[in-house]
Chains A and B, each alone.
Chain A
Amino acid sequence: GAGVSQSPRYKVTKRGQDVALRCDPISGHVSLYWYRQALGQGPEFLTYFNYEAQQDKSGLPNDRFSAERPEGSISTLTIQRTEQRDSAMYRCASSLELSDTQYFGPGTRLTVL
């Protein structure tokens, strides 16, 4: 596609529910990154993949957060047993190669009630 796409754009869920956020990178981009952006803050690194391999997950806040990219293209960020503090904008980015310029998607706004 022309750019990074994310779905859904908005997600409202109740506390305790699981959510799955999807990222579709730019075609041909081998690296994919997840960030979380709280209101009034800059994006905060969560994890990244090179092809299907998760290279760094040091930014995931706790074990309720996980991410996968099984075929080296689309990625899913899953949050289990959501809490209100998980409410934020979740941003995905992709790059042609590792350490190349990251291109960001529009984000998914998650609200946990």
Chain B
Amino acid sequence: AQSVTQPDIHITVSEGASLELRCNYSYGATPYLFWYVQSPGQGLQLLLKYFSGDTLVQGIKGFEAEFKRSQSSFNLRKPSVHWSDAAEYFCAVGLTGTASKLTFGTGTRLQVTL
């Protein structure tokens, strides 16, 4: 069965600083990969996804992620963090050929200091 690891439970960055959130997965083939963001009291919002093709994917709100097959990673990045980016971020994987049953990581809580 596939699994997802988000090694950082909590990260604090200053506003304007760059951000990288780590995500590693365990699966025998290339899965479908997703990053979602959850703000307090809100549902999960999709930031970006990777199904195939270009390994650098652009998402909403200035986020991007890079799929690295050799490292089984799909890290999320943003060059300059805004205070409104403070939220919880979840990486998720779906089996190749289907995104119907997503497996989520435990999440990384991002705090932004002014």
Which residue in chain B gives the minimum CB-CB distance to A37? B104
Interface stretch of the complex, out of B64-72, B74-82, B92-100: B92-100
Q: Does A40 contact B (CB under 8 A)?
A: yes
| Contact present for B101 and A56 (CB under 8 Å) | yes
The A/B interface has a contact count, at CB < 8 Å, of 61
| CB of B51, distance to nearest CB on chain A (Å) | 9
Q: How far is the CA of A4 from the CA of B103 in the complex (A)?
A: 20
Task: Please tell me the number of chain B residues within 8 Å of chain A, measured between CB atoms.
Answer: 24
Query: Would A43 and B43 be within 8 Å (CB), given that A48-B101, A56-B101 are in contact?
Result: no
User: Which A residues lie within 8 Å of B11 (CB)?
Assistant: none
Closest-CB distance, B26 to chain A (whole angstroms): 15
A65 CB within 8 Å of chain B: no
Q: Is B90 an interface residue when CB atoms closer than 8 A count as contact?
A: yes
Interface residues on A, range: 20 to 34
Which chain B residues numbered 40 to 72 have a C-beta less than 8 Å away from chain A?
41-46, 49
Q: Which residues of A contact B98 (CB under 8 A)?
A: 98-99
Are A106's CB and B42's CB within 8 A?
yes
Q: Can you list 15 contacts pairing A with B, beta carbon distance less than 8 Å?
A: A33-B102, A42-B92, A42-B104, A45-B102, A56-B100, A56-B101, A91-B43, A91-B44, A93-B44, A99-B97, A101-B99, A102-B102, A104-B36, A105-B43, A106-B41
Closest 9 CB pairs of A and B: A42-B104, A104-B44, A104-B43, A106-B43, A99-B99, A99-B98, A43-B104, A45-B101, A42-B90
Chain B contact residues, CB within 8 Å of chain A = 4, 32, 36, 41-46, 49, 90, 92, 94, 97-107
Q: Identify the A interface with B (CB < 8 A).
A: 3-4, 31, 33, 35, 40-45, 48, 55-56, 59, 91, 93, 95, 98-107
